[in-house]
Amino acid sequence: MTRTAKVVRATAETDIGLSIDLDGTGAADVETGVGFFDHMLCALARHSMIDLTLRVKGDTYVDDHHTVEDTGIVMGQALREALGDKRGIRRFGSVMVPLDEALVMAAVDISGRGELFWDVPIGPSKVGSFDTELGHEFFAGLARDAGITLHLRLVCGENAHHILEATFKAFARALREAVEPDFRSAGAIPSTKGSLS
């Protein structure tokens, strides 16, 4: 069974084509028009071991908000599709990731109930030209549309680049753990309800 998905979404603000392979090698081919965001998505792919191909044409002449938020939405839709009925996965993943002085905790539950719990205060409002508040917008869209419960928490940190990068890497590592096959489950859906929807 292949765990792949392709999603295309076009609005007046963004035109996005995305494909993922949950059982990949972490390969990334990403062009969003937002350099720092591309860097974060490549880190996400590498550390989740999810292959990611992404092309975004967004209204970056306004700002980067729609590009980042809508990419989160489309990635969430792709994750939901690739996971199918979630049979045989571990479901839960949690990790703490350091990046120099920054330390971020991520916990994922592929619950079918999409919600983000964000406690990642970032002092500087910019990394280069990237608005740091857009980290929240990306993960909120992703969690909601993927149907995952996602906790992200900053334990300590000062540098905005380090904080955001540790956040993306922590999410990636927790997601990798949660989507991995659980060979002891004999292909069962990991819920006493018998459904994760």
CB 135 within 8 A of CB 167: yes
pLDDT number for residue 196: 67
pLDDT number for residue 197: 75
pLDDT score of 17 more than 80: yes
pLDDT number for residue 192: 66
d(CA 130, CA 161): 10
pTM of the predicted model, to two decimals? Answer: 0.95
In tens, the pLDDT along 58-86 reads 999 999 999 999 999 999 999 999 999 99
CB 131 within 8 A of CB 125: yes
Q: How far is CA 96 from CA 10, 30, 32, 91, 103, in A?
A: 35, 26, 28, 17, 7
Residue found under tokens 């028009």? 33
CB 175 within 8 A of CB 47: no
Amino acid at 134: L
Token representation of residue 116: 């983000």
What pairs with residue 96 in β-bridges?
A: 105
pLDDT number for residue 141: 98
pLDDT score of 137 more than 90: yes
In tens, the pLDDT along 102-131 reads 999 999 999 999 999 999 999 889 999 999
CB 191 within 8 A of CB 106: no
What domains are defined for the chain? 4-185 (3.30.230.40)
d(CA 19, CA 150): 22
Token representation of residue 28: 């990334």
pLDDT score of 188 more than 80: no
Mean pLDDT of 8-28: 98
Q: Which helix (H) or strand (E) holds 14?
A: strand 14-21
CA 111 to chain centre: 15
Phi, psi of 115 (to 5 degrees): -160, 145
Mean pLDDT of 77-105: 97
